Copies of this chain bind each other. A is one copy, B any other.
Amino acid sequence: MTEDFAKIDGHIGQHLDGWLAELAALCRVPSVSARHEGVGECAHLVAALLASRGFEAEVLPSDGHPIVLAHAVGKNAGRTMLLYNHYDVQPPEPLELWTTPPFQPDVRDGKIFARGAKDDKGELMARLAAVDALLAVDGCLPCNLTWLVEGEEEVGSPNLPAFVERYAERLRCEGAIWEEGGTDAEGRPQITLGARGMLYVELGVRALSRDGHSGNANLIPNAAWRLVWALASLKGPDERVRIPGFYDGVSPASERQRELLEALPSQEAAIKESFGLDQLLLGRTGADVAAAPFDPTCNIAGMSAGYQGEGSKTVIPAVASAKLDFRLLPGQDPFEVAEKLRRHLDSEGFTDVGIKILGGERAGVVDPDDPLVGLVVETAEDVYGKPAQLVPMSGGTTPKYLFTERGVPVVAPGVGFGASNLAHSPDENMRIVDFQNAARHVARLLARFAEA
């Protein structure tokens, strides 16, 4: 095996510039799903990249943004690996914090900077690099590949469940490679097994038909105050979500999961440094940091009311709104949580606070003892030269539940160190060495999967 992969690794090392150019072309398309920008163009570019590798690639409609579905036959045609990626990206704001513009990719300091450079165009491109290397060295793919590239991951994949249902036959597979995961700050591979679910809502209040002069503040209601009080009813500084029944169905980490948590090296120092903190939330430390994702969350992602310009304006805001995401655990259904939220607001007197659901996904969990997980660990250690860690639950959300709930083991080889790539933030980037290692890892994983 070592000899084969030496050739693969050699090919990858020699062709980086071409893949980076293709990645830059992908990142130049501002496929911000929240705003429905550039999604059709980006889907077709992804399909073209797949077709150029010999995939039968189609851009298929959904009730939202188009979804790319592609197939290629490999040497062992009895085994199919599904690869999941997404071509959409998070909004680039705040723009003023980017060193170079988010949709004008820039290579500097051994990194490529752009919105999507890591999440998830960079990851998609690294997998294409693995495919190219396998084709170049072996002349064929080791197994069948089915590639699913959606355009609404960053807005909660609202149309993926129906798509997976509709194309269930074409999506049949013995294993799936998802996004998420990577290395920790010391370069140790982290293999994430669980992804939390999510409910994303926008709360909105209209208190007045128009903004008022604040001299009337004792006489007419203020939408910002209504929103503040409604939000404060959801969670206090103890971080406990106060919606009745919110925690129903949530189980603590199992014995096996606790074992895995205890084996994880602490990420505390890396997170503190990354966000300029003296201590983590609630003073979390030690094993408590790794265990944090076993608590569901209620996060304010944005908030807006009244005058936000320079200086002062004495106005009573007529409207106010907030965006909230709840990260959910197995046992919590996002749409049931939305109903509980509605009942809670009503019972607290906030019938005037509207709820608009922008996304809902269930959590998805993989058995740490599945053979495919073992393959990911082995191949990761081969690439990174360090022992791999199994992360039983990650903080993030990705719709792998659509496959885990069908009994498919879903694994994630991951790309690079999470905190350094600034995914979802200004100056998102991918280290070229991480790109290279991800390609090496996926090539190994596909080859070993085909043998199993």
Interface string of A302-316 (1 = CB under 8 A from B): 111111111111111
Residues of B within 8 A of A289 (CB): 219
**Size of interface on A: residues with Cβ below 8 Å to B:** 92
Determine if A93 and B309 form an interchain contact, defined as CB atoms under 8 angstroms apart.
yes
Residues of B within 8 A of A210 (CB): 97, 275-276, 422, 425-426
**A17 to B: closest C-beta gap in Å:** 30
**A248 to B: closest C-beta gap in Å:** 19
**A82 to B: closest C-beta gap in Å:** 23
Interface string of A136-179 (1 = CB under 8 A from B): 00000000000000000011100000000000000000000000
**A386 to B: closest C-beta gap in Å:** 23
Complex-state Cα separation, A426 to B311, whole angstroms: 18
Complex: chain B residue closest to A235, CB-CB: B225
Determine if B313 and A323 form an interchain contact, defined as CB atoms under 8 angstroms apart.
yes
Determine if B312 and A323 form an interchain contact, defined as CB atoms under 8 angstroms apart.
yes
**A120 to B: closest C-beta gap in Å:** 13
Determine if A215 and B302 form an interchain contact, defined as CB atoms under 8 angstroms apart.
no
Complex-state Cα separation, A231 to B228, whole angstroms: 7
**Known interface pairs A224-B300, A232-B228, A425-B210. Does A395 touch B275 (Cβ–Cβ under 8 Å)?**
no
Residues of B within 8 A of A397 (CB): 215, 314
| Contact of A359 with B by CB under 8 A | yes
This chain: copies in complex: 2
| Contact of A40 with B by CB under 8 A | no
Determine if B208 and A275 form an interchain contact, defined as CB atoms under 8 angstroms apart.
yes
| Contact of A237 with B by CB under 8 A | yes
Of A292, A312, A396, the most chain B CB neighbours within 10 A belong to A312
Interface string of A227-266 (1 = CB under 8 A from B): 1110110011101000000000000000000000000000
Complex-state Cα separation, A275 to B236, whole angstroms: 32
Residues of B within 8 A of A228 (CB): 228, 231-232, 300, 303
Complex-state Cα separation, A308 to B319, whole angstroms: 13
Residues of B within 8 A of A305 (CB): 300, 302-304
Determine if B317 and A222 form an interchain contact, defined as CB atoms under 8 angstroms apart.
no
Q: Which of A43-51, A277-285, A363-371 contacts B (4 or more CB under 8 A)?
A: A277-285
In-complex Cβ contact of A311 among B34, B300, B307, B422 (8 A): B34
Residues of B within 8 A of A303 (CB): 224, 227-228, 303-306, 308, 317, 320
Determine if B301 and A312 form an interchain contact, defined as CB atoms under 8 angstroms apart.
yes
Complex-state Cα separation, A202 to B198, whole angstroms: 33
| Contact of A220 with B by CB under 8 A | yes
Determine if A301 and B323 form an interchain contact, defined as CB atoms under 8 angstroms apart.
no
- The 7 A-B pairs of least Cβ separation, nearest first, read A34-B311, A215-B395, A209-B276, A302-B306, A215-B396, A232-B232, A224-B300
Q: List 11 A-B contacts (CB under 8 A).
A: A93-B313, A97-B210, A208-B276, A213-B395, A214-B325, A214-B424, A218-B395, A299-B314, A301-B314, A302-B313, A303-B317
Spell out A's residues near B (CB within 8 Å). Answer: 33-35, 90-91, 93-94, 97, 154-156, 196, 198, 200, 202, 208-222, 224-225, 227-229, 231-232, 235-237, 239, 271, 274-277, 280-281, 284, 289, 292-293, 295, 297-317, 320-323, 325, 327, 349, 358-359, 394-397, 422-426
